Amino acid sequence: MKIIVTGGAGFIGSAVVRQAIESGMDVVNVDALTYASCIENVASVSDHPSYVFEHVDIRDRAALDRVFADHRPDAVMHLAAESHVDRSIDGPSEFIETNITGTFNMLEAARKYWLENRKPDDFRFHHISTDEVFGSLSSDKNIMFTETTPYDPRSPYSASKAASDHLVRAWHETYGLPVVLTNCSNNYGPYHFPEKLVPVVILNALASKPLPIYGDGSNVRDWLFVEDHADALLTVIKRGKVGRSYNIGGENECSNLELVKTLCDILDDLHPRESGSYQDLITFVTDRPGHDARYAIDPARIREELGWRPSVTIEEGLRKTVQWYLDNEDWWRPLQNRDGVGKRLGTG
C-alpha cells in the first residue's frame, strides 16, 4: 500500500511515517517544512527505499496534482495543519489558509486523481482532526465526546479544523470520495515541538525555569501517547469504514495541574534537582482567552468496531517521553531558537 502523508515532518505525522515504513508501506511525505516541522523526525527512515519526501505546500494546488500523478497513491493521510491554538489567537489567517483552503486543495487533487483512475473503491482519503471541534465539556465525568456530538468550535484553530472536517464529509456525500475521519485528543510523546505544554514543562524544568500553568490548571484533557495515536490512525486507514469518523482517546483524563505534577514527579525520579522538587517551579499565569474547560473522548466506537485501545497509561507514556527528552538534547536544543518558541503567545 502506498500512502501520501501530509505533515509528515511534524509531531504526529512523523510518528505515522516511521510506523508506516516499519509496517511495510510505501510513504510519500508531503510537507512545507514550516516553523513547526523538523525533518530530522523522520531521519530513521529517510534512506529507506519505500520513503520519498516532497517539499510541497498544500496551498499549492498545481504542486499537489503533480504529486498525485507522480506517485499514484492508494491512500492519503492528511495531517498537515497549523496546530498551535495560541498562535491561532495571535494570527488566524495562516490557519484559514492551510487548514481550510489547504484541505480543500487536498480534496480536489485527490478527487481529480480518483476520477482519472475510474473511482477505485479501495482508495481512501483519511482526514486527521481534533476533539477540539466539539467545544468544551462540563466536569460531569459521564459526559464525553462521541462521534455524534454536535460541533461547537471556540478557537480560530478549532474552527478551522471543524471547517475542514465539514469539507471532507461534503466531498464524500457530494462526490462519493471514499473518506474516513478521526478526531483525537491531546497528544504527547517524543518529537513534540517545544512550544506545547508537555515539552515546555520538561525543558523549563531542566533549565530551572518557571513551569507555566494557564489559569488555575483545572482544564482537563484526555492525553494520548503519540505512538498509540499513529497506531490507531494506521488501523483506521486499513480497516475504517468509508464515510465514518472515529474518535481516538488515550483513556487518560487529567487536569493540566495533575499532568504537570506527574511530570515533576517523574523528573524528580529520573533527573533529581540538587535540592527540592521540580514542583517548586510551578507558576500560575494568565489564562488563555476562551480556554476550553474539559475535553474527554468516548472511545467505544474504535474499540468495538476496530478492536483498538491505547497501549500505555499516562504515567508510562510520560515516563517514556521524559526519558526521550533527557536522551535527545541534540534534537530539541536548536528548536528553542525558532520564532516565538519560549515566548508567551495567544493572550489576546
CA distance 220 to 215: 12
Nearer to ligand NAD, 197 or 282 (CB): 197
Nearest to 136 by CA among 327, 292, 247: 292
Q: Is 131 a catalytic residue?
A: yes
User: By CB under 6 A, is residue 33 in contact with ligand NAD?
Assistant: yes
In the residue annotation, 132 being an active-site residue is answered as yes
CA angle, 12 as apex, 8 and 17 as ends, to 5°? 45
214's enclosing H/E stretch is: strand 211-214
In the stretch 42-81, what mask flags binding to ligand NAD with x, by CB under 6 A?
---------------xxx-------------------xxx
- Nearer Cβ to ligand NAD (7/317): 7
- Run of H or E residues at 193: none
In the set 57, 132, 165, 231, the catalytic residue is 132
Among the listed ranges 111-119, 122-130, 141-149, 293-301, the one in contact with ligand NAD (CB under 6 A) is: 122-130
Side-chain-side CA neighbours of residue 48 (13 Å): 22
**Are 134 and 151 in contact, with CB atoms under 8 Å apart?**
yes
- Binding marks (x or -) toward ligand NAD, 245..284, rule CB under 6 A? ----------------------------------------
Is 157 in the active site? yes
CA distance 97 to 171: 19
Residue 244 vs 271, nearer CB to ligand NAD:
244
Give the orientation angle of helix 197-206 with respect to helix 314-327, to 10 degrees: 50
CA 336 vs. chain centroid, Å, equals: 20
**Considering the complex, what minimum distance in angstroms separates the CB of residue 83 from ligand NAD?**
4
Which of 1, 34, 112, 151 binds ligand NAD (CB under 6 A)? It is 34
Exposed (0-12), middle (13-18) or buried (19+): which is 330, by Cβ within 10 Å?
A: exposed
Q: Is 20 in the site for ligand NAD (CB under 6 A)?
A: no
Q: At closest approach, how far in Å is the CB of 322 from ligand NAD? A: 18
| Comparison of 281 and 332: residue with beta carbon closer to ligand NAD | 332
- Could you give the angle at the alpha carbon of 177 between the alpha carbons of 174 and 183, nearest 5°? 100
Which amino acid belongs to residue 271? Answer: H
- 296 binding ligand NAD? (CB under 6 A): no
CA distance 66 to 64: 5
Site for ligand NAD in 168-227 (CB under 6 A): 184, 186-187, 193
Provide, rounded to whole angstroms, the least separation between the CB of residue 272 and ligand NAD: 29
When computed from its CA atoms, the radius of gyration of the chain, rounded to whole angstroms, is: 20
Report the interhelical angle of 61-71 vs 103-116 (nearest 10°): 40
Residue in 5, 36, 76, 205 binding ligand NAD, rule: CB under 6 A? 36
Catalytically annotated residues: 131-132, 157
Please give the residue ranges that form the binding site for ligand NAD (CB under 6 A). Answer: 6-7, 9-13, 31-34, 36-37, 57-59, 79-83, 98, 102, 128-130, 161, 184, 186-187, 193
